[in-house]
Amino acid sequence: MKKIINDPNLVVQDMLKGMVSANPSAIKQLPETTVIVRSDVPTVNKVGLVSGGGSGHEPAHAGYVGKGMLDAAVAGEVFTSPTPDQVLEGIKAVNGNAGVFLIIKNYTGDVLNFEMAAELAEAEGIKVEQVIVNDDVAVEDSSFTTGRRGIAGTIFVHKIAGAKAEQGAALDEVKSVAEKVVANVRSMGMALTPCTVPAAGKPSFELKENEMEIGIGIHGESGIERKEISTADEIASELVHKILDDGVHGPGDEVAVMINGLGSTPEMELYIINSKVNEILNEKGIHVYKTFVGEYMTALEMAGCSVTLLKLDDELKSLLDSRSEAPAFLV
């Protein structure tokens, strides 16, 4: 294992410290926790947004904390859900008496720990609602999930629910727009190389030099198939068609596109993928309203990418375009 770290057991704490040092006016860390919050929390009479999950997906989720997006991000150990006591600290810190909204990626551990935190918060008199993001069309069940997994599409839920809450919307309105995003967002990914969890010290799986895995998860969980690597155009086509086959996006629709790098894929390659994705969508009569290319939801140093499509209506367009001060998603 070759990594720029001090101690495999301290990577999360060391990283969070560095994130706060980089954005001292926007975010802060709650003492004795792994919770990053907006520096001005709680915002009185605004719904507080909390997300989080295992670490190793940076800039998710702490990079999306900021005015117009999340109020708190709770970091677990690498690829491990944070515990309910930590999530509860986040909920309490962002409670501005308008309720707190949880955005949870669909992994068994995340769902259990966040739901438990929600119950503990409700026992303390805080109103909590949640949405579970399951945008990955690759597999129905995985080693980390019952049902579909939550991946890069989660960022659109952060952005749009965050914008809605910033406008002063009530808890049920924030929940409703978040559910609309979840209903209209689909993603799929692929990988060329595995990644190594620092505490484990070795890769969680292996791929041969000429091999790629289609539909892989952001923790290296199995996807649909392993096969010989093909061209960028073929990869883009396979990912987009699998998403379109799900039947959410069709001719005449307007979409936001996200081409997400998994950690060690150069932007050059992401743009090559985007070129073909854009071409296919044009051919299908699907209008691209906005495109995001970069690293949004990574899997440590995995090489690979994911494609996300979000169908937009006027409300979602305006919320997507509204101001965000989150360091990793400035609008």
Question: For binding to other proteins (CB under 8 A), which residues are involved?
Answer: 76-77, 80-81, 83-86, 108-109, 112-113, 115-116, 141-144, 146
Annotated catalytic, 57? yes
Residues 6+ apart with CB under 8 A from 263: 195, 295, 298, 299, 300, 301, 302, 303
The answer to whether 150 and 132 have CB atoms below 8 angstroms apart is yes
Q: How far is the CB of 91 from other proteins (least distance, A)?
A: 14
The radius of gyration of the chain from alpha carbons, rounded to an integer in Å, stands at 19
Q: Centre a 10 Å sphere on the Cβ of residue 257 and count the other Cβ atoms it contains.
A: 20
Q: How far is the CB of 96 from other proteins (least distance, A)?
A: 25
Give the total residue count for the chain. Answer: 331
Q: Please say which residue, 108 or 291, places its beta carbon nearer to other proteins.
A: 108
Q: How far is the CB of 20 from other proteins (least distance, A)?
A: 23
Q: Centre a 10 Å sphere on the Cβ of residue 166 and count the other Cβ atoms it contains.
A: 22
Annotated catalytic, 219? yes
- Considering the candidates 57, 61, 158, 249, report the single residue annotated as catalytic: 57
Q: Please say which residue, 113 or 134, places its beta carbon nearer to other proteins.
A: 113
Q: Please say which residue, 149 or 175, places its beta carbon nearer to other proteins.
A: 149
Q: Please say which residue, 136 or 325, places its beta carbon nearer to other proteins.
A: 136
- Considering the candidates 158, 219, 241, 249, report the single residue annotated as catalytic: 219
The 3-class secondary structure across 118-174, one letter per residue, is HHHHHHCCCCEEEEEECCECCCCCECCECCCCCCCCHHHHHHHHHHHHHCCCCHHHH
Q: How far is the CB of 146 from other proteins (least distance, A)?
A: 6
Phi and psi, residue 244, nearest 5°: -65, -30
Task: Just list the catalytic residues.
Answer: 57, 219
